[in-house]
Amino acid sequence: MQEGFKKANEQIERVYSKNSSASSLIITLTTGPLLPTTLRETKSEADKARDMGAKVYCLGVKDYKKDQLHDIVERKDQMYGIDEFKSLEKLVTSLVENSCMEVMAGDTYFLCLGGKSQSHISIQKCVSVC
């Protein structure tokens, strides 16, 4: 996980150096517990991202450790957990609304391509426009 944060931070740093008011969002997903070294390095990278104004969200699936993800995020409402991958779709609306409103400080709008209604949003079909 920490390697993903490092790559994200490299990208954020390039933008942040030119525009410190640019919005950045990192959403990470894990399916199991993190080793102590991995957790420590991930927390450090998440802190670096936040220092550049990024918002960090964590998704845990199945065998994740809730307390580890709470250590990575700034607030408990930035962490989501589910028991199985097929439940992931249920989190999309909530995650998009919360993260988009936080990053953009505005309303969230949904554009669903090929879908009949917002209540049946598919991960592949939904685009959030803020």
Predicted TM-score (pTM) of the model is 0.73
Return left, alpha or beta for 89; rule: phi > 0 is left, psi -120 to 50 is alpha, else beta.
alpha
Q: What is the CATH number of domain 2-129?
A: 3.40.50.410
Write down the domain spans for the chain.
2-129
As a residue count, the chain comes to: 130
pLDDT exceeds cutoff 80 at 50: yes
Q: Considering only 17-21, 105-109, 121-125, which range has the smallest mean pLDDT?
A: 121-125
Model pLDDT, residue 103 = 64
Mean pLDDT of 114-123: 44
pLDDT band at 129 (very low <50, low <70, confident <90, very high): very low
More confident residue, 10 or 125: 10
- The terminus-to-terminus CA distance of the chain in angstroms comes to 27
Please, which pLDDT band fits residue 74 given cuts at 50, 70 and 90?
A: very high
Average pLDDT over residues 11-28: 89
How many whole angstroms separate alpha carbon 10 and alpha carbon 5?
Answer: 9
Q: What is the mean pLDDT of the chain?
A: 80
Comparing 95 with 14, which gets the higher pLDDT?
Answer: 14
Please give the Cα distance from 55 to 97 (Å, whole number): 14
Separation of CA 73 from chain center: 9
Best CA proximity match to 73, nearest among 61, 90, 55: 55
**Residue with the larger pLDDT of the pair 48 and 20:** 48
> Amino acid letter at 67?
D
Confidence of residue 35 (pLDDT cuts 50, 70, 90): very high
Rounded Cα gap, residues 66 and 83, in angstroms? 12
Tokens linked to 94: 């909530």
Give the SS3 label for residue 57: strand
